[in-house]
């Protein structure tokens, strides 16, 4: 009898170990599979959060694992970030990520083929992909339950001189006794310093920090209330900013489209109707479109010099098209879960960066009925056939 119970205990331990291994395991390779997406013959890669398009590469994450797809090939796992011990360790468990909808555990900034900066678990890590090592180089001031998520998906950038930036994202409610800063690294992420700091209580958090390759400027937007929302750009490495607007939900922005003639965006408004706007480069005039969006915009991506796409979130999960002329137009739609599960809102995530050359349109629905976290790619030629251009003004 003792031998039987001893054998049973071994089996239980082995089964438990097997389940634990399955929970924390991330695959070595994630392929693209054929998929149909709203009439497009597309391809899909499952269980991934889209990060960057840079040159020939598409970067993504699954949990704390970092992936790259090169030249249209499968996503290959390059490294898994080891976070400091604490609550963030729950993110290693697949079932917890799915139960609570926390897929975006890492924000990834590729520096080169062999070096990336990873924001994970309240820390900034400098990851050497060649040697498979990591170095904790910076601690985020606002991260964790009741404090904030550290940085937003559009809140980190590399400028034209190779300087790195990120904006702080605290989520304190009803407080104005803390400072919010734009941070900068001049040495590929080894050290970090405050480049710009807002007066106490003037903003709640920074939504976006983005490099405008057309105008050669660093843009930053804040939120959330009217008095705390402002949008502007810097041409001196983040030391000073020219604010194109403030004090209104019109300038509550999470991501921007940088086009040849204008900078365009959709509002992140939840207290009034969300619309799209554009700031004309030649005149500095801000113009608002009439068409109301069904939800706030979290992500943007330029497809060419004249137009790009918006990723909607919260009250809607859709991709809309927008350019420097004409009204916005819906292109793709997903279904919201009802009731909404706990955790972050449903959203359509789009990539940071810029591919060379562009061959696909990439979209990443998160927490929708159809997709928990999948990256779809649509051939650019097929997209152009369906959507040759935006309608002219008034149509």
pLDDT of residue 208: 98
Closest CA to 302 of 336, 273, 265: 265
| Structure-token pair, residue 205 | 């958090």
* Integer-rounded Cα radius of gyration of the chain: 21
pLDDT of residue 309: 98
* Rounded Cα gap, residues 120 and 117, in angstroms: 10
- Residue 186's CB is within 10 A of a number of other CB atoms, namely 15
Sheet order of strands, 49-55 included = 29-30, 75-80, 65-70, 57-62, 49-55, 352-355
Sheet order of strands, 262-266 included = 257-258, 262-266, 274-280, 286-293
pLDDT tens digits for range 49-79: 999 999 999 999 999 999 999 999 999 999 9
* Cβ-proximal residues to 44 (8 Å cutoff; 6+ apart), any chain: 32, 33, 34, 35, 37, 374, 375, 376, 377
SS3 of 236, please?
Answer: coil
* Rounded Cα gap, residues 185 and 189, in angstroms: 5
What DSSP element (H or E) covers 337? Answer: none
Q: Is the bond into 339 cis (omega within 30 degrees of 0)?
A: yes
- Residue 96's CB is within 10 A of a number of other CB atoms, namely 14
pLDDT tens digits for range 81-134: 999 998 889 999 999 898 888 899 999 999 999 999 999 999 999 999 999 999
Q: State whether the Cα torsion 190-153-345-249 is positive or negative.
A: positive
DSSP per residue over 150-206, as a string?
Answer: ES-TTSEEE-TTS-EEEE-EE--SS---S--EEEEESSTTSS-EEEEEPPTTS-SEE
Question: Dihedral (C-alpha) 207, 256, 117, 80: value to the nearest 10 degrees?
Answer: 90
* Rounded Cα gap, residues 264 and 231, in angstroms: 12
Closest CA to 365 of 57, 121, 80, 37: 37
pLDDT of residue 272: 85
Mean pLDDT in consecutive groups of 10 residues from the start of the chain, 395 residues: 46 41 90 97 98 96 98 98 91 89 94 97 97 98 91 97 97 91 98 97 96 98 95 98 97 97 95 93 97 97 96 96 96 95 92 93 97 97 89 50
pLDDT of residue 13: 38
Pairing of strands 318-323, 329-333: antiparallel
Question: In angstroms, how far apart are the furthest CA atoms of the chain?
Answer: 87
What DSSP element (H or E) covers 313? Answer: none
pLDDT of residue 6: 53
Per-domain boundaries in the chain: 52-139
Closest CA to 77 of 106, 98, 102: 106
């Amino acid at each position: 009898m003792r031998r039987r119970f001893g054998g049973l205990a071994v089996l239980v331990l082995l089964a438990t170990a097997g389940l634990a291994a399955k929970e924390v395991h991330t695959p070595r390779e994630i392929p693209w599979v054929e998929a149909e997406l709203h009439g497009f013959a597309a391809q899909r890669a499952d269980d991934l959060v889209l990060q960057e398009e840079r040159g020939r590469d598409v970067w993504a994450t699954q949990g704390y694992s970092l992936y790259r797809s090169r030249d249209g090939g499968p996503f290959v796992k390059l490294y898994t970030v080891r976070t400091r011990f604490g609550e963030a360790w729950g993110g290693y468990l697949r079932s917890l990520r799915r139960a609570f909808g926390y897929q975006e555990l890492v924000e990834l900034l590729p520096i080169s083929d062999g070096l990336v900066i990873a924001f994970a678990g309240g820390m900034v890590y400098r990851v050497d992909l060649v040697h498979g090592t990591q170095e904790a180089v910076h601690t985020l001031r606002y991260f964790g339950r009741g404090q904030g998520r550290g940085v937003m998906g559009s809140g980190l950038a590399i400028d034209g001189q190779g300087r790195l930036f990120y904006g702080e994202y605290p989520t304190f409610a009803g407080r104005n006794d803390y400072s919010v800063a734009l941070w900068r690294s001049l040495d590929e992420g080894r050290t970090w310093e405050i480049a710009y700091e807002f007066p106490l209580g003037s903003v709640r958090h920074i939504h976006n920090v983005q490099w405008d390759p057309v105008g050669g400027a660093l843009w930053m937007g804040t939120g959330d209330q009217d008095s705390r929302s402002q949008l502007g750009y810097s041409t001196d490495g983040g030391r000073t900013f020219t604010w194109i607007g403030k004090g209104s939900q019109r300038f509550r922005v999470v991501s921007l489209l940088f086009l040849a003639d204008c900078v365009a965006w959709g509002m992140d408004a939840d207290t009034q109707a969300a619309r799209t706007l554009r700031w004309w480069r030649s005149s500095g005039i801000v113009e608002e479109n009439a068409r109301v969006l069904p939800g706030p915009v979290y992500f943007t991506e330029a497809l060419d010099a004249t137009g790009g796409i918006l990723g909607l979130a919260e009250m809607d999960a859709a991709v809309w098209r927008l350019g420097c002329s004409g009204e916005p137009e819906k292109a793709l739609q997903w279904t919201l879960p009802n009731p909404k599960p706990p955790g972050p809102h449903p959203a359509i995530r789009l990539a940071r960066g810029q591919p060379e050359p562009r061959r696909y349109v990439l979209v990443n629905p998160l927490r929708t009925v159809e997709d928990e976290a999948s990256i779809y790619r649509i051939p650019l030629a097929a997209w152009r056939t369906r959507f040759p251009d935006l309608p002219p003004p008034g149509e």
